Amino acid sequence: MIEDIDRDVFVRIQTDLLVVGDSIMTDRHHASNGNYEDDDPQNQIGGIIPAFPLSGWLRHGMEETVQEYGGTACHPGEANANFMKDGVYDRDLDAGYHEKGACTDDPKEDDGCVVFDLFGGFGGVPGKVMRRPIKFNPVRSSVDYTRGQAEGHYRRLNRNVVSRNREDNREPLRNAEIDAVANLDGCWHLSFREMKPEFIGLLAEGIDFLDAHKTDFMHQLGGARNFGAGIVDCELINPLYEERELKRVFDRGKGNTNAMGEKDDQWAEEYRPAFVDALEERIEEGP
């Protein structure tokens, strides 16, 4: 069945506000016409959301899924790393992780656990899933969803931290600027270097976990979580869809075709259960 799934899959992502710690790369020099004001609501600026925060968010959901199925997840950091908090590595090991790379004797010969297999990063061995950045544009007609792009509106926001003393009349103590994307709606393009049924099973379960826990602080995307940013509605778009059907998902004037409905039934009744079974078997084998 895995032969019927293309190496490229898409995750739909919708969020009212996104602020990422890696910042957002904009193409403002194309839109400014020499008069750029970063807080001007008339600016039609697009840009790129880096894959780093997206990847960490996805991996977190996948790790939780593996742990829910009774397995341990490969830790993303090495034991001798200079962590910012004392004892964090040991606490993670107690919470359902195993040491990075402990699941394989030779990463070039042995795939290790499913998380290590997907994300790699040890012994010079790349992971099997390639995560692209999301290119966004405020003009819907300029968004190519088949390339993993999104509609989104960039702004630079200003936050004033003010004095709490009554005699200061809430005078600002300092100003903080943050880059934000609002009303984001599009898809994230993932590519597999090698396709395995347990990969798709873990992706589907991990995305469902993140969607179900989107208001949990630990499972929100990016920074500024206390300010309502990073609450993401997400779903794996049916991998059986063809390119024209993928475009139709984002066409607000059209609904699903009969063929898309049949593929949805196939995915829910045949493909997904088989891939999740493969994931369970892989986890039962141990790291």
Look at the block and give the residue holding tokens 């994230």.
188
Q: How large is the average pLDDT for residues 10-35?
A: 80
- Going by pLDDT thresholds of 50, 70 and 90, the confidence category of residue 281 is very high
118-134 per-position pLDDT tens digit: 998 666 788 899 999 99
Choose among 217, 241, 240, 239: nearest CA to 230: 217
Cβ atoms of 181 and 18 within 8 Å: the answer is: yes
Choose among 47, 50, 13, 70: nearest CA to 233: 13
Q: Output the pLDDT for position 40.
A: 64
1-14 per-position pLDDT tens digit: 788 888 999 999 99
Tokens encoding 48: 């790129």
46-99 per-position pLDDT tens digit: 899 999 999 999 999 999 999 999 999 988 887 777 777 778 888 888 888 988
pTM: 0.89
Which residues have C-beta within 8 Å of that of residue 179, sequence separation ≥ 6?
19, 20, 23, 24, 26, 154, 156, 157
Look at the block and give the residue holding tokens 């390339």.
147
Q: Output the pLDDT for position 106.
A: 82
Backbone angles phi, psi at 77, to 5 degrees: -115, 155
